[in-house]
Structure 1
């Protein structure tokens, strides 16, 4: 985790141990808060604040392996990609080059490769994957016929111009965030876009109900003429 803090990542578990990579032939062992891992895949270090540090993809996957739960691992991978510390493909390569890794981590990486930028969006991606609906894209920018920005939906079905927003009550219901959400929804309406808003908690507590709502929203969007909106 200490390497990721040096790169500026914030969404990290409260683990204070230092994870130290050393060549496989070295006889150094762990002690105290220092966890030593001998490896035959020692990466070329990046210097951060004068300290040799593993590159972001290696640091993320090493931290994800030691995360307290899968949500924490997804959160780290999503933040690294969302804030452009690394490409999702670099994380995938780092996972695939390991001979021994928890298969759940490979599964957890799939929504990130698909474009999800958070744990909630990963939940939405997994629900969409069960839906049988046409392709959804994630975090793309939508513009109207005049080239005006409409929104950057969490999920987007371009076939029928359907937006899916995973809107948390805490973030979207207060102050400037509330006003921004109302303005976003007004732009959707003006552009003729059908939008479904879902609370993140319902993706796990009521997945079947959310799936039914998503399919109903898709059918509603499919029945009307597709508006002249496009991705850029």
Structure 2
């Protein structure tokens, strides 16, 4: 009788139970902890066997083609460095690894992203210090700093801004890049500034087709944010302000533009839709100087971000309403000239 037909000692844990763990995708380390000997693994993975080696050290416990979920789990198992759990906590089998790029965008529900079944490679984000090479369907993307992963269908996935940036870094199709950037904003997956920050950190803003798409994106993001501010005033029952005006001292210097201004109460609203660029610090310093100057003149400046307007419009309406009501208790503001912008 040959070695191949010699019965092996049974595993302490029935293999049928193993097949239900993580969509029937397990690592060699997990098999060893369950008492499955390497000889048994090799036997099962022979040609025509019941199992297959999907990635180095990662096994698929059936012989058929892997599903999209199984490929995702296999990629995470391959790339992740398991973190030992604290007592009474669930283990973290993927370590810091998370799905990113087009696969992550498909999980986020981007219609512009190809379906998972069409992706030959699955991008997985790992720390830069991770010593591992891309293999099979797993393409490693290394980062100095990793964002906090979001859990989708039980898997760690990079947030939309980071996933878009990692996808764009691998693409050279201007139309697809434009569709992904547009959907990120129109689909409320993220704010334009957060997306541009990730593109800037990835040093992608020097690519002409990316710059063109970003300029269009920022213009559209600005319009969306202004629309939310209009809705805040309308739905919050606030008095109508003067929209998009410049403030000047009578016969004096230009004080700056604001997005909404209530002259009787001397309250201004300014939207922070700045995009992170190389001159971000200078731009922010200019904004701070303008705000301090207006407040020295007795003008209250309410600073609103696109995220606040999107996630908590009622709360922001209360902030503006409070500023308007507090005007009666303040000293009269200096007279300023209001001009259309």
Q: Which interval holds the TM-score relative to the shorter structure?
A: 0.3 to 0.5
- Structure showing greater relative contact order (alpha-carbon pairs closer than 8 Å, 6 or more residues apart): 1
Normalising to structure 2: TM-score of the pair?
0.33
Who wins on radius of gyration, i.e. which is larger? 2
